[in-house]
Amino acid sequence: MNVTRGFTGRPRVANAGLPPGQYDAGDTWPVLSAEVTPDLAAADWTFRIDGLVDAPHTWDWDEAHTLPAAGYQGDIHCVTSWSKFGVRFAGVSLDSFLDLVRPHTAATHVVAYSHTGYTANLPLADVTGGRAWIAWEYDGRPLDPEHGGPARLLVPHLYFWKSVKWVAGLRLLDHDEPGFWEGNGYHERGNPWQEQRYAGD
Ligand SMILES: Nc1nc2c(c(=O)[nH]1)N[C@H]1C(S)=C(S)[C@@H](COP(=O)(O)O)O[C@H]1N2
Ligand SMILES: [Mo]
């Protein structure tokens, strides 16, 4: 259990502690972007799921907001070694989107991609079962553009590079296909508790 200190005046929620090699960033939230923050209005944001699914679909902002609201409160862990405890995101569970497109049983992996072109690969099992979200609110307010607003992928049980900012879609595949960082030496899965930082870890 971590000591409570300065999380905007509220006591910190109980957290799972720091994964190996991580430090507590406290109230700061570093911005890590490989690209320039895009000028993307909510009205222009879209989210598509295609590949190995029965019914590929593209949601716009309004249609995505008709899905059941869901949120995450807990910790996030960046591979550059900062972690944040007890953050609060709101949006929609990826399960709600995936149920509607009906994934083929052959689908094993996804490539998540951004409106900017950034990509990250994930096992399908890591984005189902209530473990991944499309998030558009942070701490009760619209997600800042620099943190991926209008909407980002959130997969908090893996290193944060998997949580694609300005998310544009998921493609379901029957094989693993490295994304931006995975093609540059980072681990294909990225479990912080097993310190899967680099390929071979
Ligand atoms: N589109 C996009 N998504 C991205 C990144 C990026 O460079 N571009 N960086 C990743 C990395 S390495 C991290 S740690 C988190 C950082 O999110 P933050 O800037 O909101 O802290 O976003 C991830 N998603
Ligand atoms: Mo990161």
* Measured distance CA(99)–CA(101) in Å, rounded: 6
| H helices present in the chain, as ranges | 61-64, 94-101
pLDDT of residue 7: 42
Residue 92 domain-assigned (yes or no): yes
Residue 31 domain-assigned (yes or no): no
Q: Which residues line ligand 1 (CB under 6 A)?
A: 29-35, 78, 114, 116, 118, 147-148, 160-161, 163-166
* Measured distance CA(85)–CA(109) in Å, rounded: 28
Q: Read off the CATH number of the domain in which 59 is found.
A: 3.90.420.10
Q: Ligand 1: which residue has its CA nearest to atom 6?
A: 33
pLDDT of residue 16: 75
Q: Is 81 helix (H, G, I), strand (E, B) or coil?
A: coil
Q: In terms of C-beta density within 10 A (0-12 exposed, 13-18 middle, 19 or more buried), how is residue 20 classed?
A: exposed
Pair of tokens at residue 161 = 């590079």
Work out the end-to-end distance of the chain between its first and last CA atoms, rounded to an integer number of angstroms: 27
Helices then strands, each counted (H, E), the chain: 2, 11
pLDDT of residue 6: 41
pLDDT of residue 15: 61
* Measured distance CA(175)–CA(155) in Å, rounded: 20
Atom of ligand 1 nearest to the CA of 166: 1
Pocket test for ligand 1, best of 160, 166, 181 (most atoms within 8 A of CB): 160
**How much distance in Å is there from the Cα of 160 to the middle of ligand 2?**
5
Q: Print the domain residue range for 113.
A: 42-194
Residue 167 domain-assigned (yes or no): yes
- As for how many domains the chain has, the answer is 1
Is the overall model pTM greater than 0.85, yes or no? yes
Token look-up 């479990």 returns 191
Q: Are 60 and 66 in contact (CB under 8 A)?
A: no
Atom of ligand 1 nearest to the CA of 32: 19
Stretches where the chain sits below pLDDT 50 are: 1-12, 14
